Structure 1
Amino acid sequence: MHLFLALCISTIVTGAAIEQRDAVPPGYVAAPYYPAPHGGWTSDWSESYRKASLLVSNMTLAEKTNLTAGTGIFMGRCVGNTGSALRVGIPQLCLQDGPLGVRNTDHNTAFPAGITAGATWDKDLLYRRGVAIGEEFRGKGVNIHLGPSVGALGRKPRGGRNWEGFGSDPVLQAYGGALSIKGIQSVGVIATLKHLIANEQEMYRMYSLVKPGISSNLDDRTLHELYLWPFAEGVRSGVGSVMIAYNAVNGSACSQNSYLINGLLKDELGFQGFVMSDWLAQISGVSSTLAGLDMSMPGDRHDLPIVLGNSYWMFEYSRAVLNGSVPVDRLDDAVTRILAAYFQMGQDQNYPRPNFDTNTQDAEGPLYPAALISPRGIVNEFVDVQANHAEIARDVSRDAITLLKNQNNVLPLRRNATLKVFGTDAEKNPDGINSCNDQGCNKGTLGMGWGSGSARYPYMDSPIDGFKARGATYQFFNTDSFPSNSNPSPNDTAIVFVSADSGENYITVENNPGDRTSSNLNLWHNGDKLIKDVAAKYANVVVVVHTVGPVILEEWHDLPAVKAILFAHLPGQEAGASLMQVLYGDVSPSGHLPYTLPKSESDYPQSVSLVGYQIGQPQDTFTEGLYVDYRHFNKAKVTPRYAFGHGLSYTTFAYSNATITAVTPLTATPPTRPAKGETPSYSTAIPPASEAYWPENFNRIWRYLYSWLDKNDADNAAKAANSTTKYPYPEGYSNVQGPGPQAGGAQGGNPALFDVAYSISVTVSNTGSRPGKAVAQLYVQFPSTSTVDTPIIQLRDFEKTSTLAPGTSQTLNLRVTRKDLSVWDVVSQNWIIPVVDGDYGLWLGDSSDALHLRCGTARGSCAGEQTSPV
């Protein structure tokens, strides 16, 4: 492929100026891919597309364009509000954040964050959490839930939004995302998988008048094998919507990157839903349309004052269709995709309307808060959607708690233990649990990061609340400096609460603009010194860490007094009782790290550092390729403090009686993909200008975004369609639908990729004295005869036992698919198995550095007590 310098078409679709985008390093490709593939060709969406096409064929131009964009920021109850098509029965669609609960509302649950859910390594809990989140969004009348997040992948340990996803591995992210989607959509809510793609830091992510957004430059293989992997599984699960990222990829903004949207997402992955922009991420009109964007949110332009009420789409979209700049079938497909998702989730059947207002907590207020003059009415009905979801949230919070160290079995605590508790992280924010907008502060117990991925707490069950409920004998020092009056006693157990926070770029907290720039990977609020000071006075110290991601423990980890370390991650509202159940031994801890903990930040490759200011477009080049997180540590032979997947229990487990069974015979390349099915067919004739005229006597709301045009504007646009001046389409543009790439064929890609190649069973036995749950992690090691560079081991599956009583066992079944044994071949543009008859090692254990049971595909047998490959 040649390096394609894509066109950045200015957003005014008539008389458009063409700007060349900034150059990226040689070899990084943003190839043109046109046209946008039509949806509806997979059988599992055919009925929804049939219903949608019947409506679309009866809709006017303005009705269609009205559904493709938001009506403006702060111009409705929800964070995003599409236009409507009431004549054909389609209301405004409500879009609302976020991945861990309904943002900016009341009587909702503040669920544990994605990173916490990932730390459970429990597929059932991931699904149950998704169902509960979906029930709350439906109960609030939200059509489209803006989650789950599987990008950022967590490539950069200081990245601001890593905590919204499930961990720094594509398979862990994939299961977290796909199971969440299945749960959310099981109750009729459209899930939104985000952010496509490679949005790995917050700084410089957005385009502005003075600077382009950061360009993530990555090669095709890395894109497929790491960053696209969880999106493929999310699409395979039937997700209804995908949100593109703010940044560019290989120099082309994600919102108009035809290779990403048309090529990878819609054609190769067979995505049947609709693609939306992140808020103000759309930077052009026609070019983003042609590149496959289906919905613009919140509808406003990114480069003009929002108060002016300008849009790249809405009325401009109507104009662009009338003047021939946008082919009619592109608009029809976009609207069909939106409506197909609506029907696919059954939202045409008694779906509730929004009963909350994201802009205010008052019962009454303006219906359009950003308007100069707005009608007023009831905007909040205070509907309680919590049901029994606190129990699910507590289960996730508890089973995510990861015991890293437990010397002398200082944990679990004795019921009558005398405790000294230190650190402001142990108690609620004294200013109020929701006193900081979008949780944009780190004060009190850290239950979630900050930004659009946050939610309001209905309450915060803090660790101190938990100690009180237990009737514990404790003294609490609500300070992050060691107090002089703690009066240490030899019988005391000291518990120190510390934290590390991050969030989204529009809020800066303690000099951290989303990413952890000021704090680096250190604990916040004097945490390291507090632990050291406590350890100097007390003989038994337990450290509890609430954190968004990796932190450096070296200053105090090996101190003799520091006996136990727990990562409680981001527990949401249920920080107290869940922790008490583990501290006091009601349950054994069963969480495992969803990322690696290094000994030093210099243990990472330099390329995963945050990118600072650069003249022109900031360039972030992924030179580490596949070697992210544990893949890098293993290759570089750097021993981390704690490996990916590490987690201790109060009991012990043994893995035995493993078997491997060949299921589907393998070939070097997958079988030929299925052909695309039929897609809806519409007239390609430009509609009459009258379909975009303003209705007579219509009462306009100032700065509300409408899809209609004044009669003269519409008529002039229609005349322009017959002029000799034509829209300057981008290089490589075509309007001829293609059969699709070899690697495609169904949702998620060629269905043969997901054929089970080998099934593996293993017996897990509780060999200790307490009940507990174990996690079996399966990693693939490619044959030594392979000439393709691959990481030493790569996670491919995992399963968690139920609670095992001492002396009992459970057999777990895991699987390895064709895709799990494949690599992406950049020449043939397909997944290939590099050594079909080679001996793939399928390693089992409870951590990435504790794999002692190996099953070999060549002999079809398994053996224990093997030397771990890393």
Structure 2
Amino acid sequence: MAVNTRIFHCDEFFRLSREEKKEFQSIIQKELEENPIKHLDTEWGRFENLSPMSEEEIDRLAEEVLSEMTLEQKVYQMSCDNDARYAPLNPPRYNFIPYYAGEDLDLNIPAVKFTDGPTGIVMSYHATAFPVSIARGSTWDTELEERVGNVIGIEGRSGGANFFAGVCINLLRHPAWGRAQETYGEDTVLLGKMGAALTKGVQKHMMACVKHYAANSMENARFKVDVEMDERTLREIYLPHFKECVDAGAAAIMSAYNRVRGEWCGHHDYLLNQILNGEWGFKGFVMSDFIWGIRDTVDAANGGQCMEMYATQFFGKRLVDAVRDGKVDEIKIDAAVKRILREKIRFSFVGDKAQYSEEKMGCKEHAELAREVSEKSTILLKNEGLLPLEKDKIKKITVVGRLAVEPNTGDLKGSSAVFPPYVITPLQGILNEAGSGIEIKYADGRIPHQAQELSKDADVVVIIAGLTSLDEGEFITNGGDVGGDRKYLGLHPEDEDLIEAVSKANKNVIVVLQGGSTIIVEPWKNLAKAILIQWYPGMEGGTALANILFGKANPSAKLPITVPATPQQLPYFDMNATSIAYDYYHGYFLADKEKYPVSYPFGFGLSYTNYSYSNPKVTKNGDTITVSVDISNTGKIAGDEVVQLYIGYKGSKVERHVKDLKGFTKIHLEPGEKKTAIIEIDKEDLAYYCPESKQWVVEDIGYVALIGASSACKDLLKADFDLK
């Protein structure tokens, strides 16, 4: 019997046998060859070559186009151009070319042309692979992140896309989350400012989509888990970073797979209609996550969903029928379509077409930015006088570890996989920089005794250890479970054994950690004289590492997460949960509350120079609160220091964190130079959310400005103030 190709949902394809899938794909492929998909001749269709318009003019044009459309044409704007029959065809891999939604040949309306992220543009095999988002969060550098966004926007348009769905700002509640690498860290302020910067950079060229809204902080259970939390936790911890990106002008929001308080996020009237569109005044459109992002036609359309991706399963004809049956008011359809049309019009006159060409993807200039980002995102956790290495004193270096020769740029099997034209590995970077005057030996570490022997007479041993996309990332079950949430937060036991073995042969050990989240270091950290976190460092990671090791670059990165001493210092996490409660405490909030002796605090990072802080001050001008501190470079080389501002509360009537990050800035200092770092916040930044009054409340109490080099009390200077 021939396989049935008339499927409604992709699940029907996934349930086919291996042989049936092959037959299905062969039939569909033949259909597409006989009737190839046609596209508009121009990039923007009827919106091509428009002059920039005011918001009012965009509104009027969107309404004019909307008035021309039949119900079917309106719903088609809300539906992916793939139906469920075509979705399983994904040659040669996920998102190799853009995914189209809402291209109307009759009305000359362009598609939303989707490309994923956030490590770079997912399309093609020659895009620039930047360090992953958690690495970029370690830079605490919004200007740098906006530059990254600008390059991503150029490469996205060069590859034929107009929509980038890689502004991932899900809060890292627990470091076991498999996709931690795709976000910026554990704090809402850091997430919001970095996400807004990426949004602004991308949107110089194309639409940016912010994901996954909301409370998506688990991977294996993402399709089933129901997240419970109280209103203050939702409003103060899990939503502010999304609002920051909305305020930055984001074109779209992608709803999450999970439930919140029993309701699927893709249908969530409270999150989508009431908060996002209502309270925040969001003017863009909501896009579903792929395949399982919508579970019901009527609930999704009424709940605020605007576009189903990346296959039409519940919208399309089913949504047309729902409108005609009176289950969805056509007013809802008109509102959603107007949102989509507005963004298509708005971005049709964004960017300069002269900047876009295939040659721009992975070009030298963009690769140089990837190297700069990797240098500025590599964290120096420990240094007992071993770094930087001096070439005139070093004769022999042994490099150890399988990851020293592996192109390890992050998840290579999921929606954030980027395939650059080349990758500089750690060993190659060290070889390139060391030159002929230094002997470099390499051991993969599979035989610890061999690594010991090669390390005995070395001046220094560099061990590259950590994780790969097989350990974490998007959870893929087809062909064997790989990636997903992590079961263990330390290094692989063989890596820990290797560090121990090598340290017995040579005391000058440098451990370089690769990975996308926290790696517990307590079992072995005392065996290393220096520890660096390089995360997944992008296509130029090896070059960046060598520049740091040899002092051509001075580390300036700071932890965007807390590194606990034990898993017991973390919130409860169950990777297979069907329901889970998120409370007010995680990360440094929890460490502060419980006074945990963590390995390394949030915001921590060393440099090759030293900084001293003095003279903290608070001044007020209207609703603006200005906190300043003097900072001096007391060392011998230039460096960049991330200055962090936290606020504490004295006598609050409600439960508050011991302190909350409220702002940060990056200061460049030459040797001996002194500058005043200034961070401004608004009075409203001090507010808590009152569930009873449904208002943000600024208390007339005493506050403490804590400003300094990390979230640790010893690194912060205090200045009391009030609002009088």
Aligned to 1:813: 678
1:91-119 CA-to-partner distances (Å, cap 9, x unmatched) read 22211111111114133101111101000
1:243 & 1:266 partners in 2: Cα distance?
A: 13
What runs of 5+ residues in structure 1 fail to find an aligned partner? 1-10, 13-42, 207-212, 301-310, 356-380, 430-444, 666-756, 861-870
Give the match for residue 852 of structure 1: 716
* C-alpha separation in 2, matches of 1:63 and 1:421: 61
Measure, in 1, the Cα distance between the counterparts of 2:61 and 2:677. Answer: 42
**CA distance in 2 between partners of 1:775 and 1:459 (Å):** 31
Alignment map for 1:235-384 (pairs within 5 Å)? 235-280=246-291, 281-300=293-312, 311-347=313-349, 384=361
1:794-813: per-residue Cα shift (whole Å, max 9, x none)? 111111113x2201133322
> What SS does structure 2 have at the residue aligned with 1:814?
strand
The verdict on how the C-alpha distance between 1:329 and 1:78 changes in structure 2, with shifts beyond 3 A counting, is: farther
Residue 687 of structure 2 corresponds to residue 822 of structure 1: yes
1:641-656 matched pairs, under 5 angstroms: 641-656=599-614
CA contact (8 A) 2:128 2:361 kept: no
Secondary structure of the residue that 2:418 maps to in structure 1?
Answer: coil
Contact 1:107-1:382 within 8 A present in 2 as well: no
Q: Amino acid of the residue matched to residue 502 of structure 2?
A: V
Corresponding residue of 2:621:
663
| Residue number in structure 1 paired with 2:442 | 476
State how many pairs are aligned.
654
SS in 1 for 2:348: coil
Matching residue's letter, 1:137: G
Q: Which residue does the alignment assign to 1:92?
A: 111
Q: Does 1:590 align with 2:566?
A: no
| 2:542 counterpart residue number | 576
CA distance in 1, matches of 2:54, 2:617: 35
Cα distance in 2 for partners of 1:453, 1:794 equals 30
- 1:324-366 residue CA offsets vs partner (Å, 9 max, x unmatched): 22211111111110111122223589879999xxxxxxxxxxx
The alpha-carbon deviation at position 523 of structure 1 amounts to: 1.2
Q: Structure 1 residues 537 and 387, CA, compared in 2 at 3 Å: closer, same or farther? A: closer
CA distance in 2, matches of 1:760, 1:110: 37
Question: What is aligned with 2:532?
Answer: 566
Once the 2 structures are TM-superposed, how far is the Cα of residue 125 of structure 1 from its aligned partner? 0.8
1:60 has 2:70 as partner:
yes
Alignment of 1:89-168 (within 5 A): 89-151=108-170, 153-168=171-186
The one-letter code matched in structure 2 to 1:327 is D
Unmatched runs of 5 consecutive residues or more in structure 2: 1-7, 10-52, 91-95
CA distance 1:593–1:824, shift in 2 (3 Å): same
Matches within 5 A, 1:527-542: 527-542=495-510
Matched residue SS, 1:65: helix
CA 1:792–1:651 in 2, change beyond 3 Å: closer, same or farther?
A: same
The residue that corresponds to 2:367 in the other structure is 390
After TM superposition, give the deviation of residue 382 of structure 1 in Å.
7.9
CA distance in 1, matches of 2:458, 2:401: 20
Q: Which of 772, 776, 779 is 2:646 aligned to?
A: 779
1:411 aligns with 2:371: no
Name the structure 1 match of 2:214.
Answer: 197
Question: In structure 2, what residue type is equivalent to 1:799?
Answer: T
Counterpart of 2:342, as a letter, is A
Q: 1:480 to 1:773 in 2, by over 3 A?
A: farther
In the aligned structure 1, how far is the partner of 2:411 from the partner of 2:373? 14
Give 1:868's aligned residue. none
What's the secondary structure of 1:581's corresponding residue? helix
Kindly state the Cα deviation for residue 138 of structure 1 after the two structures are TM-superposed. 1.4
Partner Cα separation in structure 2 for residue 91 and residue 858 of structure 1: 54
The match for 2:193 among 166, 175, 190 is: 175
State the Cα deviation string for residues 433-481 of structure 1 (Å, max 9, x = none).
xxxxxxxxxxxx3545752112112110111111121114210112344
TM-score of the superposition, structure 1-length normalised? 0.72
1:502-542 residue CA offsets vs partner (Å, 9 max, x unmatched):
1011258996541112xx10213721111111111111100
- Secondary structure of 2:702's match? coil
> Does the 8 Å contact 2:115/2:123 carry over to 1?
no
Counterpart CA distance in 2 for 1:295 and 1:54 is 20
Distance (whole Å) between structure 1 residues aligned to residue 377 and residue 411 of structure 2: 14
**Cα separation, 1, equivalents of 2:584 and 2:568:** 18
Identity of aligned residues (%): 32
Are the structure 2 counterparts of residues 511 and 282 from structure 1 closer, same or farther at C-alpha, using a change threshold of 3 Å? closer
Alpha-carbon separation, structure 2, partners of 1:47 and 1:654: 53
Q: 1:828 to 1:451 in 2, by over 3 A?
A: same
Counterpart residue identity of residue 424, structure 1: R
Map of 1:42-53 to 2, 5 A cutoff? 45-53=55-63
The alignment's C-alpha RMSD in Å is 2.4
Contact 1:782 1:821 in 2 (8 A): no
Q: Could you list the per-position Cα deviations for residues 37-87 of structure 1 after superposition, in whole angstroms to 9, with x for gaps in the alignment?
A: xxxxxx984332222112111222222111111122267974531132234
Contact kept in structure 1, 2:188 and 2:238, CA below 8 Å = yes
Q: CA deviation at 1:423?
A: 0.1
Match of 1:465 among 428, 432, 446: 428
Counterpart for residue 515 of structure 2? 547
Q: Do 1:245 and 1:254's aligned partners in 2 also have CA atoms closer than 8 Å?
A: yes
Tell whether the 8 Å contact from 1:447 to 1:575 is kept in structure 2 after alignment: no
* SS of 1:801 mapped into structure 2: strand
Per-residue deviation, 1:192: 0.5
CA deviations on 1:593-652 (whole Å, 9 max, x unpaired) are 1101111111213x2x12436xxxx11112xx2211010011011110000111001101
Give the whole-Å Cα distance in 1 for the aligned partners of 2:661 and 2:409. Answer: 30
Q: Note if contact 2:710-2:716 (Cα within 8 Å) is conserved in structure 1.
A: no
Following superposition, the deviation at residue 164 of structure 1 comes to 0.4
Residue from 469, 474, 483 that aligns with 1:504? 474
* Cα distance, 1:148 vs structure 2: 0.6
2:590 maps to 632
Higher relative contact order (CA 8 A, sep 6+): 1
